Structure 1
Amino acid sequence: MKTLSKWFTRGTEFIAAMALAAIFITFLLQIVFRYVPFLEPIGWSVVLISLLWVFVIFFGCSFIVREQDHVTFDVVYLAASQPVRKVLAVMTAICVIAAMIYSFPAIYETVFANRLMELKKIQTIRVPITGGKIAIKWLFAPFVMLMVVVTLRYIWRIYTVIRFGPPETEIDALISSETSQAEEAGK
C-alpha cells in the first residue's frame, strides 16, 4: 500500500510540475513573440496560462497539499484533551463532507449541465486534434474534481481518526522530537 501511495504521490506531483512547466514555457513564448520585432504576438498564451493555472491550483489542492499544510485556527483544538480532539476532528470532517455534498449538485449542474457553459467557447485556443474550440466548462471542471477528492479525503479522515485517534499536531511532533533527542542525549 505504501508503494502504491508513493507512486500516486509522485505521479500527481509530476502532473502538477508538467503543468507548471507548460505555464512557464508559454510565458516565455509570449515574451519572445511580443518583443522580437519580426514576430507577431500570440493571443492564446494568456488564456492557456489561465487555464493551466486554475488546473494546477485545484489539482494541487486535491492531490498534493497535505492536511497539515493548510492554515488552521487550532487554539481550541490544541487546548483540548485527546478524546476531545478526536471528537472535534470527526465533527470538522463531517461538516466539510456535508458542505461538499450539499453544494455538489448545484456546482455540477452549473459546470456540466448548463447549456451556456457548453455554448460559450474559449475563442483563442483550439483542441489540437479536432481543431474545435474548447467549451468554457473545462475551465471550471477542476473545481468539481476538487470537491470529489476533498469529500473522499475527509471520509478517509473520519476513518483514520476513529481508528487511530486524532492526527498529530505540529506541537505534538515538536514535543516528541525534543523528547526523543533528550533521551538519545541521555544515553
Structure 2
Amino acid sequence: MQRFRSLLRNTADGVAAAMLATLFSVFIVQIAARYIFNLPVGWTQEVSATLWLWLVLWGAAFCLRDEDHVKFDLLYQAAPTRWQRLFAMLAAVSIIIAVAGALPAAWDYVDFYKIKRSAVLQVRMKWVFIIYILFSVGLVARYVIGLIAILRDPGAPPSRPLPIPQEPR
C-alpha cells in the first residue's frame, strides 16, 4: 500500500512538474515572440493562464502535504490534544460537507461552459475549468482519508491526520 501511495504522489508531482515546465516554455515563447521578433501571439496568453489555473488547483489537491497548506491554528495549537482531535474532526467533516455539497452546482457551472470557447485556441471552456471538479474530488478524498485516520487511530497526532508518504530509499 505504501508503494502505491508513493507511486500516486510521484505521478501527481510529475504532472505538476510537466505543467510548470510547459508554462515556463510558453512564457519564454511569448517573450521571444513579442520582444525579439516583434510578433505578439495570443495563444501564449491563453495557454499560460490555463496552465497556471491547472497548476495551482492540481498542486493544492494532489501535491501539497497537509502541513504545507496555510492554516490559522493559534487556538488549535493552544488546545489540549483531546480538543485538537475534535477540532481536526470538525474541520474535516465541515470541509467534506461543504465541498461535496457544492460539487453538483460546480459541475453544472463547468458543464454550462461547454457552449463557450476560448478566444484564440477555440478550446471549450469546460475543459479549462474541469480542473475545479478534480480539485474538489481530490480535496474531499483527502479529508475523508484524514477523518478515517483520526477515527481509526486515537493515539495518532491530530495535527497530522493525513498519512505522510515515506520517500523510497
TM-score (norm 1): 0.79
Quick one: which amino acid aligns to residue 136 of structure 2?
M
Give 2:144's aligned residue. 155
Q: Does 1:119 align with 2:93?
A: no
Provide the rounded CA distance (Å) in 2 between the counterparts of 1:158 and 1:8.
Answer: 20
Give 1:110's aligned residue. 109
**Residues 92, 147 of structure 2: 8 Å contact kept:** yes
When structure 1 is superposed on structure 2, of 83-92 and 45-54 the one drifting more is 83-92
Across the aligned residues of Structure 1 and Structure 2, the Cα RMSD in angstroms comes to 1.6
Question: Which is bigger in relative contact order (C-alpha 8 A, separation at least 6)?
Answer: 2
Give 1:183's aligned residue. none
Flag structure 1 segments of 5+ consecutive residues without an equivalent.
126-132, 171-187
Quick one: which amino acid aligns to residue 72 of structure 1?
K
Instruction: Please show how residues 46-57 of structure 1 align to structure 2 within 5 Å.
Output: 46-57=45-56
Q: Following TM superposition, by how much is the alpha carbon of 1:164 offset from its aligned partner in structure 2, in angstroms?
A: 2.0
CA deviation digits over 1:84-132, x for unaligned, max 9? 22111111111001101221111111111x2xx122101212xxxxxxx
Flag structure 2 segments of 5+ consecutive residues without an equivalent.
161-169
Provide the rounded CA distance (Å) in 1 between the counterparts of 2:73 and 2:24.
Answer: 37
**Residues 43, 120 of structure 2: 8 Å contact kept:** yes
Provide the rounded CA distance (Å) in 1 between the counterparts of 2:54 and 2:149.
Answer: 29
**Number of aligned residues:** 159
Give 1:42's aligned residue. 41
When structure 1 is superposed on structure 2, of 140-149 and 39-48 the one drifting more is 39-48
Give 1:91's aligned residue. 90
Give 1:4's aligned residue. 4
Indicate the percent of aligned positions where both proteins have the same amino acid: 27
TM-score (norm 2): 0.87
Q: Following TM superposition, by how much is the alpha carbon of 1:79 offset from its aligned partner in structure 2, in angstroms?
A: 2.0
Give 2:127's aligned residue. 138
Give 2:167's aligned residue. none
**Structure possessing the higher radius of gyration over alpha carbons:** 1
Secondary structure, aligned partner of 1:42: coil
Give 1:33's aligned residue. 33
Provide the rounded CA distance (Å) in 2 between the counterparts of 1:73 and 1:31.
Answer: 39
